[in-house]
Amino acid sequence: MSNNAASTDPFTADPFTALVGAVGSPPEHYGNPLGEQKRLAAGDAVVDLSDRAVLTITGVDRLTWLDSVTSQSIARLAPGDSAETLLLDQTGRVEYDIRLLDDGVATWLLLEASEAPGLHAWLDSMRFMLRVEVTDRTEEFATVGTFGSFAQGSSAQGSPALRAAVPNGVPLVWRDPWSSVVTGGHQYALVTEHPSAEWSYSEILVERASLGAAAALPAAGTLALEALRVAAWRPRLATEGDERTIPHELDWLRSAVHLSKGCFRGQETVAKVHNLGHPPRRIVLLHLDGSEGVLPVHGSPVLFGDVEVGRVTSSALHYELGPIALAVVKRTTDPDAGLIVQAEDVAIAASQEVIVPPSAGAEADVPRLPRLGAVRR
Domain that holds residue 233: 3-239
Three-state secondary-structure class, residue 101: strand
CATH code of the domain containing 145: 3.30.1360.120
pLDDT at 237: 97
pLDDT at 253: 98
Nearest CA-CA partner of 244 in 330, 360, 342: 330
Query: What is the side-by-side strand order in the sheet with 53-58?
Result: 82-88, 94-102, 106-111, 53-58, 133-136
Give the DSSP letter of residue 29.
Answer: B
pLDDT at 6: 35
**Cα distances (Å, whole numbers) of residue 358 to 82, 281, 284, 331:** 31, 8, 11, 5
Q: How far is CA 203 from the centre of its chain?
A: 12
In a domain? residue 266: no
Whether the predicted pLDDT of 10 surpasses 60: no
Percent of the chain past pLDDT 70, that is, above it, reads 90
Q: Cβ–Cβ contacts within 10 Å for residue 277, how many?
A: 14
pLDDT-based confidence at residue 372 (cuts at 50, 70, 90): low
Whether the predicted pLDDT of 181 surpasses 70: yes
In a domain? residue 134: yes
pLDDT at 3: 36
In a domain? residue 104: yes
Whether the predicted pLDDT of 365 surpasses 90: no
Give tens-digit pLDDT for 308-363. 999 999 999 999 999 999 999 999 999 999 999 999 899 999 999 999 999 999 99
pLDDT at 1: 34
Residue 363 or 72, more confident: 72
Whether the predicted pLDDT of 145 surpasses 60: yes
Same domain, 173 and 55: yes
CA dist., res. 142 & res. 188, Å (int): 34
Same domain, 89 and 37: yes
Q: Give the end of a domain, one of 209, 239, 269.
A: 239
Q: Which of 156-170, 223-237, 290-304 has the lowest mean pLDDT?
A: 156-170
Residues 281, 330 contacting (CB under 8 angstroms):
yes
Q: Which of 8-12, 81-85, 294-298, 309-313 has the lowest mean pLDDT?
A: 8-12
Q: How far is CA 171 from the centre of its chain?
A: 21
Same domain, 128 and 51: yes
Residues 211, 50 contacting (CB under 8 angstroms):
yes
Domains identified in the chain, total number: 2
Give tens-digit pLDDT for 116-131. 999 999 999 998 889 9
In a domain? residue 376: no
Whether the predicted pLDDT of 157 surpasses 60: no
Buried b (16+ CB within 10 A) or exposed e, 100-132: bbbbeebbbbbbbeebbeebbeebeeeeeeeeb
Question: What are the beta bridge partners of residue 86?
Answer: 97
Same domain, 227 and 289: no
Same domain, 106 and 226: yes
Three-state secondary-structure class, residue 116: helix
pLDDT at 2: 34
Give tens-digit pLDDT for 24-36. 999 999 999 999 9
pLDDT at 128: 85
Same domain, 33 and 86: yes
Same domain, 213 and 314: no
Whether the predicted pLDDT of 7 surpasses 60: no
pLDDT at 12: 55
pLDDT average, residue stretch 203-214? 94
Whether the predicted pLDDT of 146 surpasses 50: yes
Three-state secondary-structure class, residue 288: strand
pLDDT at 118: 97
The upper half-sphere exposure of residue 218, i.e. CA atoms within 13 Å in the direction of its Cβ, equals: 21
pLDDT at 163: 87
* Geometric angle at alpha carbon 367, from 363 and 373, rounded to 5°: 140
Whether the predicted pLDDT of 377 surpasses 60: no
Whether the predicted pLDDT of 305 surpasses 50: yes
pLDDT at 364: 80
**Cα distances (Å, whole numbers) of residue 184 to 35, 66, 174, 217, 342:** 38, 17, 20, 38, 39
Same domain, 183 and 296: no
CATH code of the domain containing 343: 2.40.30.110
Query: How confident is the prediction for the chain on average, in pLDDT?
Result: 91
CA dist., res. 321 & res. 315, Å (int): 12
Q: Cβ–Cβ contacts within 10 Å for residue 306, how many?
A: 6
* Geometric angle at alpha carbon 235, from 357 and 172, rounded to 5°: 140
CA dist., res. 156 & res. 148, Å (int): 9
**What is the DSSP pairing of strand 141-147 with strand 201-207?**
antiparallel
pLDDT at 366: 53
Nearest CA-CA partner of 126 in 31, 267, 264, 294: 264
pLDDT-based confidence at residue 160 (cuts at 50, 70, 90): low
In a domain? residue 172: yes
Residue 59 or 3, more confident: 59
Nearest CA-CA partner of 295 in 313, 282, 276, 281: 313
In a domain? residue 162: yes
Give the DSSP letter of residue 376.
Answer: P
